[in-house]
């Protein structure tokens, strides 16, 4: 965390640090076999959850960077908080998954099939660190006032502040999912005959 960040961005920076810590705990001691285990056909493994996050973060941040680069003169005027619609959208992503709001991932951010755990974790960390760098690099901008085109929902524009909160909640959602998969994989491994 950077002490020079305003308190709202320090809070978001801390949330992202907690996500990284959770991800590191998730993969600690997890081998490739369990990292690629799926509960059922069509479900995602731990590695696929991480791959999905890495892909989604890269595409989301690319759209956010374009908007931030085009508006460097719009200096910070208010806290980097989502508006009413943005807050609702962020809430829908928070774990646990809300079954009535569960939608399939857009094709552009679906994970690769059976990606290696070590590679996907490295890719996730790189994309996650890019989100942290974005927050710090653009901390002086009016993140709540600059909008970007959401790359996954046609016609929707969010503030950069909403985008940062979406990244944090989306990461928490899929780490929650990955933890459930890891626990099921470990129970399945224990129950399986040797």
Asked if residue 120 belongs to a domain, the reply is yes
Asked if residue 186 belongs to a domain, the reply is yes
- Transcribe 140-187 into DSSP letters: TB-TTT-EEE-SSSTT-EEEHHHHHHHHHHHHHHHHHHHHHHHHHHHH
pLDDT score of 190: 61
Asked if residue 180 belongs to a domain, the reply is yes
CATH number at residue 38: 1.20.120.450
Which of 21, 38, 17 shows the shortest CA–CA distance to 114?
38
Asked if residue 2 belongs to a domain, the reply is no
Where does residue 76 rank: exposed (0-12), middle (13-18), buried (19+ CB within 10 A)? middle
Asked if residue 1 belongs to a domain, the reply is no
Residue 145 has pLDDT above 50, yes or no: yes
Asked if residue 172 belongs to a domain, the reply is yes
Asked if residue 84 belongs to a domain, the reply is yes
Structural domain count, the chain: 1
pTM of the model: 0.91
Domain that holds residue 143: 7-191
pLDDT band at 2 (very low <50, low <70, confident <90, very high): very low
158-193 residue pLDDT tens = 999 999 999 999 999 999 999 999 999 999 876 565
pLDDT band at 3 (very low <50, low <70, confident <90, very high): low
Residue 100 has pLDDT above 80, yes or no: no
What CA–CA distances, in Å, run from 43 to 4, 46, 121, 174? 42, 10, 18, 12
8-48 residue pLDDT tens = 999 999 999 999 999 999 999 999 999 999 999 989 999 99
**Contact status, residue 141 vs residue 71, Cβ threshold 8 Å:** yes
**Contact status, residue 139 vs residue 5, Cβ threshold 8 Å:** yes
Residue 54 CA neighbour count, 13 Å, CB half: 20
- Transcribe 2-40 into DSSP letters: -TTS-HHHHHHHHHHHHHHHHHHHHHTT--HHHHT--SS
122-141 residue pLDDT tens = 999 999 999 999 999 999 99
Asked if residue 111 belongs to a domain, the reply is yes
Helix, strand, coil tally for the chain in percent (to 5)? 60, 5, 35
């Amino acid at each position: 965390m950077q002490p020079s960040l305003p308190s709202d961005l320090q809070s978001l920076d801390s949330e992202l640090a907690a996500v990284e810590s959770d991800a590191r705990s998730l993969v600690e001691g997890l081998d490739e076999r369990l990292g690629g285990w799926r509960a059922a056909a069509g479900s995602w493994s731990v590695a696929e959850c991480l791959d999905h996050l890495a892909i989604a973060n890269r595409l989301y941040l690319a759209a956010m960077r374009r908007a931030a680069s085009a508006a460097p003169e719009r200096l910070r005027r208010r806290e980097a908080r989502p508006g009413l619609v943005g807050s609702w959208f962020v809430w829908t992503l928070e774990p646990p998954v809300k079954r009535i709001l569960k939608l399939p991932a857009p094709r552009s951010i679906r994970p690769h099939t059976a990606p290696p755990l070590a590679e996907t974790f490295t890719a996730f960390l790189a994309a996650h660190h890019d989100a942290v760098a974005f927050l710090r690099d653009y901390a002086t901008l009016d993140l709540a006032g600059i909008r970007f085109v959401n790359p996954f929902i046609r016609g929707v524009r969010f503030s950069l502040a909403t985008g940062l909160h979406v990244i944090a909640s989306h990461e928490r959602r899929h780490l929650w999912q990955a933890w459930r998969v890891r626990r099921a994989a470990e129970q399945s491994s224990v129950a399986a005959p040797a």
